[in-house]
Protein backbone atom coordinates (compact mmCIF):
# COMPACT_ATOMS: atom_id res chain seq x y z
CA UNK A 1 0.00 0.00 0.00
CA UNK A 2 0.88 3.67 0.04
CA UNK A 3 2.75 4.84 3.13
CA UNK A 4 1.10 7.67 5.04
CA UNK A 5 4.07 9.18 6.91
CA UNK A 6 2.04 11.26 9.37
CA UNK A 7 0.27 8.20 10.80
CA UNK A 8 2.81 5.50 9.89
CA UNK A 9 0.03 3.56 8.19
CA UNK A 10 -0.68 2.11 4.77
CA UNK A 11 -3.56 3.03 2.48
CA UNK A 12 -4.74 2.40 -1.05
CA UNK A 13 -5.80 -0.59 -3.15
CA UNK A 14 -2.78 -2.75 -2.31
CA UNK A 15 -3.41 -2.35 1.42
CA UNK A 16 -7.09 -3.25 0.94
CA UNK A 17 -6.18 -6.30 -1.12
CA UNK A 18 -3.72 -7.51 1.52
CA UNK A 19 -6.15 -7.00 4.41
CA UNK A 20 -8.98 -8.76 2.58
CA UNK A 21 -6.89 -11.96 2.58
CA UNK A 22 -6.29 -11.96 6.34
CA UNK A 23 -8.24 -13.33 9.29
CA UNK A 24 -7.72 -12.16 12.84
CA UNK A 25 -8.82 -13.38 16.23
CA UNK A 26 -8.77 -9.94 17.85
CA UNK A 27 -8.45 -6.38 16.55
CA UNK A 28 -7.33 -3.57 18.85
CA UNK A 29 -8.40 -0.36 17.14
CA UNK A 30 -7.58 3.12 18.39
CA UNK A 31 -10.53 5.35 17.54
CA UNK A 32 -10.93 9.08 16.94
CA UNK A 33 -14.54 9.11 18.03
CA UNK A 34 -17.27 6.91 19.48
CA UNK A 35 -20.87 8.04 19.20
CA UNK A 36 -23.40 5.79 20.91
CA UNK A 37 -25.86 6.13 18.02
CA UNK A 38 -23.62 6.03 14.95
CA UNK A 39 -20.55 4.09 16.13
CA UNK A 40 -16.80 4.61 15.72
CA UNK A 41 -15.41 6.99 13.14
CA UNK A 42 -12.35 8.76 11.80
CA UNK A 43 -11.89 11.92 9.71
CA UNK A 44 -10.02 10.09 6.91
CA UNK A 45 -12.21 8.14 4.42
CA UNK A 46 -9.35 5.88 3.27
CA UNK A 47 -8.42 5.04 6.84
CA UNK A 48 -12.08 4.33 7.62
CA UNK A 49 -12.33 1.92 4.68
CA UNK A 50 -9.25 -0.01 5.81
CA UNK A 51 -10.36 -0.03 9.43
CA UNK A 52 -13.83 -1.25 8.40
CA UNK A 53 -12.18 -4.07 6.46
CA UNK A 54 -10.11 -5.01 9.51
CA UNK A 55 -13.33 -5.10 11.56
CA UNK A 56 -14.87 -7.47 9.00
CA UNK A 57 -11.97 -9.94 9.07
CA UNK A 58 -11.69 -9.98 12.88
CA UNK A 59 -13.48 -12.33 15.24
CA UNK A 60 -13.41 -9.78 18.10
CA UNK A 61 -13.19 -6.00 17.87
CA UNK A 62 -11.74 -3.96 20.74
CA UNK A 63 -11.99 -0.17 20.53
CA UNK A 64 -9.28 1.60 22.52
CA UNK A 65 -9.89 5.23 23.44
CA UNK A 66 -9.72 7.82 26.16
CA UNK A 67 -13.00 9.13 27.54
CA UNK A 68 -12.72 12.40 25.58
CA UNK A 69 -13.54 10.45 22.39
CA UNK A 70 -17.06 9.69 23.62
CA UNK A 71 -19.66 11.66 21.69
CA UNK A 72 -17.16 12.60 18.98
CA UNK A 73 -18.23 11.98 15.39
CA UNK A 74 -15.94 12.24 12.42
CA UNK A 75 -16.61 12.26 8.69
CA UNK A 76 -16.14 8.54 8.00
CA UNK A 77 -17.88 5.69 9.80
CA UNK A 78 -15.74 2.63 10.60
CA UNK A 79 -18.23 0.40 12.43
CA UNK A 80 -21.45 0.52 14.40
CA UNK A 81 -21.76 -0.22 18.10
CA UNK A 82 -23.14 -3.64 17.13
CA UNK A 83 -19.75 -4.45 15.56
CA UNK A 84 -17.86 -3.86 18.82
CA UNK A 85 -17.12 -6.53 21.40
CA UNK A 86 -15.06 -4.51 23.90
CA UNK A 87 -14.18 -0.91 24.69
CA UNK A 88 -11.05 -0.16 26.70
CA UNK A 89 -11.03 3.37 28.09
CA UNK A 90 -10.14 5.39 31.16
CA UNK A 91 -12.11 5.61 34.38
CA UNK A 92 -13.46 9.08 33.58
CA UNK A 93 -15.95 7.66 31.06
CA UNK A 94 -19.40 8.63 32.41
CA UNK A 95 -21.29 5.81 34.11
CA UNK A 96 -24.27 6.43 31.80
CA UNK A 97 -22.06 5.73 28.77
CA UNK A 98 -20.66 2.57 30.35
CA UNK A 99 -24.20 1.34 31.00
CA UNK A 100 -25.35 2.25 27.47
CA UNK A 101 -22.45 0.32 25.94
CA UNK A 102 -23.07 -2.68 28.18
CA UNK A 103 -26.78 -2.58 27.33
CA UNK A 104 -25.73 -2.77 23.67
CA UNK A 105 -23.74 -5.93 24.41
CA UNK A 106 -20.33 -4.26 24.50
CA UNK A 107 -17.99 -5.19 27.36
CA UNK A 108 -16.25 -2.18 28.92
CA UNK A 109 -12.87 -2.22 30.64
CA UNK A 110 -12.00 0.93 32.61
CA UNK A 111 -8.29 1.43 33.28
Instruction: Note down pLDDT in tens along the chain; length 111 residues.
Output: 666 677 666 667 777 888 888 999 999 999 999 999 999 999 999 889 999 999 999 999 999 999 999 999 999 999 999 999 999 999 999 999 999 999 999 999 999
Q: CA separation (Å) from 79 to 29, 43, 111? A: 11, 13, 23
Asked if 87 contacts 55 with a C-beta cutoff of 8 angstroms, the reply is no
Instruction: Give the whole-angstrom CA distance, residue 83 versus residue 106.
Output: 9
A 10 A CB-CB count for 22 gives 10
pTM (predicted TM-score): 0.88
Amino acid sequence: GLLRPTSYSLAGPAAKETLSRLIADRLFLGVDGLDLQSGISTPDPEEAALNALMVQVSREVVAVMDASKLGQRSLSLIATIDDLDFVITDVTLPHTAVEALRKSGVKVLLV
